[in-house]
């Protein structure tokens, strides 16, 4: 019988010997490797925290105490230990469990979290909240009160929100433990002065004699009087590992370590002592990302979140990894196009915020290291840096996931748009992202950027249009601009793309070039890749409807000339977007129609509905929200005959049958 099968709750860890816990760590790694190799997912981050997770659950009772994850992509061992092993086979699917902490799954998950830097601030909030509710741990008064633990990585600690959290954590006068998981890696190698500091600490730090320096250290730390009290309650191991001249002491946090994050006896002893220290403390833990799988240890970036893979071992050839085959991605296409821009224009510069591989900027870094920058997990800083470079006359392209752009919106507003500076935003992972789920969907970039005066917003439908959009942005000096594209492979059915003209759509169905001689039943304005599924939907309905398909290209400004031509002819319009239905491209079309003085009742919007979409494949998510070919076909029918189609859908819902496309092409009445 496996040890893992004996774990019903984390409390069962307390009945196991150290040797059994070490064997259990091996079993957990085997489960993670097996699952991720078959389906993809976050591999290296989770392999690195197995012993640390076991030790934390052994010492603390997180059904009672508070555990706050940062980013959350290192939560697989935590989920396995907290009763979700049976659903692990369906990880990152709607039928299984999320790849990030998810409160609806378990009482052990406190926040849905997928963005970096938040864990310390939310931990401070819970620490203060428990104090006010008189449920916090307090030695001698409430020994059974709630303790608070925040788990954060060394790459996340440099995030501005994390810094703000540290600044406030140092003012606490109660227990709060920050566990710094230092693996020398984010998704790729961390950047900046803090990363260099941790490098020095790892190399140079040795456990000092606490009698030599600890008391003197406490005397100089802000809040040292409080820390002195904690010092007297420490065990000898913790005293001996106090880090002298630690960076964290400037925030008023006692710092211990670094200690070996794979040494279970040491971890358990330090955590046992740390749980009773009633002042804020940092436990610096050194781990190896990808631990237990040699190929992941050797290339932690590649195996941070790999696709399905197979490892082949040969005595002569060594270890070879075969990744699941797939087509050409938008990310790869962007990376190539960016290098091409930089080759042709020496004023083009680029930056990314810790996503050099994920955004494709790694190619530019390799080819143009003097004009390419990885700022680390600092989106706000990166945006401001790009604005500064634009002010100097350069042409900055900031490659960032749509979901992380939200962190830089204030800077997009204040330092770019307000100044009229042409910073170019390249928004990867726009729309529904698949297995990462709600924490990573890029569903609101149009809505937030569209509010900025003079901003120009574009979208790509394939590689040719992506290149055309980037070329347009390269020469656009009128202010902030953006292009959005999904985490998906490219479909090249539409061929070569003509150059982008400001606010001009592109007709994808040339038979409707003259609307007077060939008037469509419905016109689709697709913003971005929904144009591909729309093309399939049109083929499905070809014998019943005449549908004109346009690549809208711009959400701001929309093509008002085209809109006028369609509305003057009373042609129903269906807008499509892989974005929230609220405030997106469809809303821009409605507003433009009203501004032109037209009745906008024949404009039907279709996009991501106003509720959270959970983890699954991107294809399944698009199907769920009706942005696949079948769903768009239904919307074409609805746009053509909205009253009849609505009645049909209502009757189908009453009979519990899934509605099929309404195909009666009798014109709507009234």
What CA–CA distance (Å, rounded) separates 519 from 529?
A: 25
Residue 625 covered by a domain: yes
Q: Do residue 208 and residue 356 come from a single domain?
A: no
Q: Do residue 344 and residue 468 come from a single domain?
A: yes
Residue 321 covered by a domain: no
What CA–CA distance (Å, rounded) separates 474 from 468?
A: 10
Torsion of CA 551, 552, 554, 559, to 10 degrees: 140
What CA–CA distance (Å, rounded) separates 122 from 610?
A: 26
> Which tokens hold the place of 463?
């590689």
Q: Residue 604 belongs to a domain with what CATH number?
A: 3.40.50.920
Residue 316 covered by a domain: no
Q: Do residue 280 and residue 400 come from a single domain?
A: no
Is 0.95 topped by the overall pTM? no
Q: Where does the pLDDT of residue 192 fall: very low under 50, low under 70, confident under 90, or very high at 90 and above? A: low
Residue 317 covered by a domain: no
Q: Do residue 460 and residue 523 come from a single domain?
A: no
**Inter-residue contact 546 to 521 (CB < 8 Å):** yes
Residue 493 covered by a domain: no
What CA–CA distance (Å, rounded) separates 148 from 62?
A: 9
Question: In this predicted structure, which of 29-33, 325-329, 484-488, 597-601 has the lowest mean pLDDT?
Answer: 325-329
Q: Do residue 372 and residue 405 come from a single domain?
A: yes
DSSP annotation of 142 reads B
Q: Do residue 269 and residue 166 come from a single domain?
A: yes
Q: Do residue 25 and residue 87 come from a single domain?
A: yes
Q: What is the pLDDT of residues 617-655, one digit of tens each?
A: 999 999 999 999 999 999 999 999 876 656 655 655 565
What CA–CA distance (Å, rounded) separates 491 from 472?
A: 21
**Inter-residue contact 136 to 130 (CB < 8 Å):** yes
Q: Where does the pLDDT of residue 657 fall: very low under 50, low under 70, confident under 90, or very high at 90 and above? A: very low
Range of the domain at 50: 4-286
H-run or E-run covering 654: helix 642-654
Q: What is the pLDDT of residues 355-401, one digit of tens each?
A: 999 999 999 999 999 999 999 999 999 999 999 999 999 999 999 99
Domain termination residue (choose one: 221, 251, 286): 286
Q: What is the pLDDT of residues 471-484, one digit of tens each?
A: 999 999 999 999 99
Residue 663 covered by a domain: no
Q: Do residue 455 and residue 336 come from a single domain?
A: yes
- Residues annotated as part of the active site: 289, 379, 407
DSSP annotation of 146 reads B
Q: Do residue 195 and residue 96 come from a single domain?
A: yes
Torsion of CA 35, 36, 42, 47, to 10 degrees: 70
- Token look-up 């730090």 returns 205
User: Quick check: 504 pLDDT over 90?
Assistant: yes
Q: Do residue 192 and residue 339 come from a single domain?
A: no
> Which tokens hold the place of 10?
């984390």
Q: What is the pLDDT of residues 557-589, one digit of tens each?
A: 999 999 999 999 999 999 999 999 999 999 999
Q: Where does the pLDDT of residue 520 fall: very low under 50, low under 70, confident under 90, or very high at 90 and above? A: very high
Q: Do residue 100 and residue 192 come from a single domain?
A: yes
User: Quick check: 202 pLDDT over 50?
Assistant: no
Q: Residue 395 belongs to a domain with what CATH number?
A: 3.40.50.970
Residue 666 covered by a domain: no
Q: Where does the pLDDT of residue 225 fall: very low under 50, low under 70, confident under 90, or very high at 90 and above? A: low
Q: What is the pLDDT of residues 334-363, one digit of tens each?
A: 999 999 999 999 999 999 999 999 999 999
Q: Do residue 241 and residue 345 come from a single domain?
A: no
Q: Where does the pLDDT of residue 307 fall: very low under 50, low under 70, confident under 90, or very high at 90 and above? A: confident
Q: What is the pLDDT of residues 256-274, one digit of tens each?
A: 888 999 999 999 999 999 9
Residue 304 covered by a domain: no
The structural domain count of the chain equals 3
């Amino acid at each position: 019988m496996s040890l893992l099968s004996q774990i019903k709750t984390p409390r069962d860890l307390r009945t196991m010997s150290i040797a059994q816990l070490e064997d259990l760590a091996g079993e957990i790694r085997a489960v993670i490797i097996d699952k991720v190799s078959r389906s993809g997912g976050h591999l290296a981050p989770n392999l690195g925290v197995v012993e640390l997770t076991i030790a934390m659950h052994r010492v603390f009772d997180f059904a009672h105490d508070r555990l706050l994850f940062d980013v959350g992509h290192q939560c697989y061992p935590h989920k396995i230990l907290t009763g979700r092993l049976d659903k692990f086979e369906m990880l990152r699917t709607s039928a299984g469990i999320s790849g990030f902490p998810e409160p609806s799954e378990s009482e052990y998950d406190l926040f849905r979290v997928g963005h970096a830097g938040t864990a310390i601030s939310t931990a401070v909030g819970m620490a203060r909240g428990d104090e006010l509710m008189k449920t916090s741990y307090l030695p001698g008064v409430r020994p059974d009160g709630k303790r608070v633990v925040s788990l954060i990585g060394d790459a996340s600690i440099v995030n501005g929100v994390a810094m703000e959290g540290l600044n406030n954590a140092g003012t606490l006068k109660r227990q709060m433990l920050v566990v710094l998981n230092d693996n020398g890696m984010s998704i790729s190698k961390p950047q900046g002065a803090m990363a260099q500091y941790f490098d020095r600490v790892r190399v140079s730090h040795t456990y000092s004699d606490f009698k030599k320096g600890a008391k003197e250290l406490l005397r100089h730390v802000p809040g040292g009087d409080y820390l002195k009290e904690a010092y007297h309650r420490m065990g000898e191991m913790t005293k001996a590992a106090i880090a002298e001249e630690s960076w964290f002491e400037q925030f008023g946090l006692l710092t211990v370590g670094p200690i070996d994050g794979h040494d279970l006896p040491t971890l358990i002893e330090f955590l046992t002592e740390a749980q009773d220290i009633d002042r804020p403390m940092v436990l610096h833990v050194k781990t190896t990302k990808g631990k237990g799988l040699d190929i992941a240890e050797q290339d932690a970036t590649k195996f941070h979140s790999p696709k399905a893979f197979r490892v082949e071992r040969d005595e002569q050839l060594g270890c070879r990894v075969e990744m699941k085959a797939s087509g050409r991605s938008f990310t790869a296409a962007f990376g190539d196009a960016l290098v091409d821009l930089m080759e042709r224009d020496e004023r083009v510069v680029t930056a990314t915020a810790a996503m050099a591989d994920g955004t494709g900027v790694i190619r530019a870094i390799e080819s143009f290291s003097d004009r390419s920058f990885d700022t680390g997990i600092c989106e706000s800083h990166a945006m401001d840096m790009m604005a500064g470079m634009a002010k100097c006359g350069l042409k900055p392209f900031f490659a960032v996931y749509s979901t992380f752009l939200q962190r830089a919106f204030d800077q997009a507003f204040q330092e770019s748009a307000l100044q009229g500076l042409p910073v170019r935003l390249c928004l990867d992972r726009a729309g529904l992202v698949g297995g990462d789920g709600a924490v990573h969907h890029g569903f609101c970039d149009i809505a937030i950027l569209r509010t900025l005066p003079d901003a120009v917003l574009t979208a790509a439908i394939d590689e040719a249009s992506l290149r055309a959009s980037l070329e347009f942005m390269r020469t656009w000096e009128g202010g902030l601009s953006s292009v959005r594209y999904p985490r998906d492979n490219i479909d090249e059915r539409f061929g070569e793309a003509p150059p982008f003209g400001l606010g001009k759509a592109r007709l994808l169905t040339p038979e409707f070039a003259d609307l007077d001689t060939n008037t469509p039943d419905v016109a689709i304005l697709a913003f971005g890749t929904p144009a591909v599924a729309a093309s399939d939907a049109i083929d499905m309905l070809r014998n019943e409807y005449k549908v004109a398909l346009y690549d809208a290209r711009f959400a701001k400004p929309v093509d008002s000339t085209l809109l006028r031509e369609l509305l003057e002819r009373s042609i129903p319009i269906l807008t499509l977007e892989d974005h929230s239905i609220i405030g997106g491209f469809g809303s821009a079309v409605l507003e433009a129609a009203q501004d032109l003085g037209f009745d906008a009742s024949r404009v039907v919007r279709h996009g991501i509905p106003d509720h959270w979409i959970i983890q699954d494949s991107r294809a399944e998510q698009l199907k769920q929200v009706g942005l696949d070919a079948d769903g768009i076909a239904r919307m074409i029918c609805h746009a053509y005959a909205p009253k009849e189609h609505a009645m049909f859908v209502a009757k189908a819902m009453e009979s519990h049958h899934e509605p099929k496309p309404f195909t009666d092409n009798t014109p709507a009445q009234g």
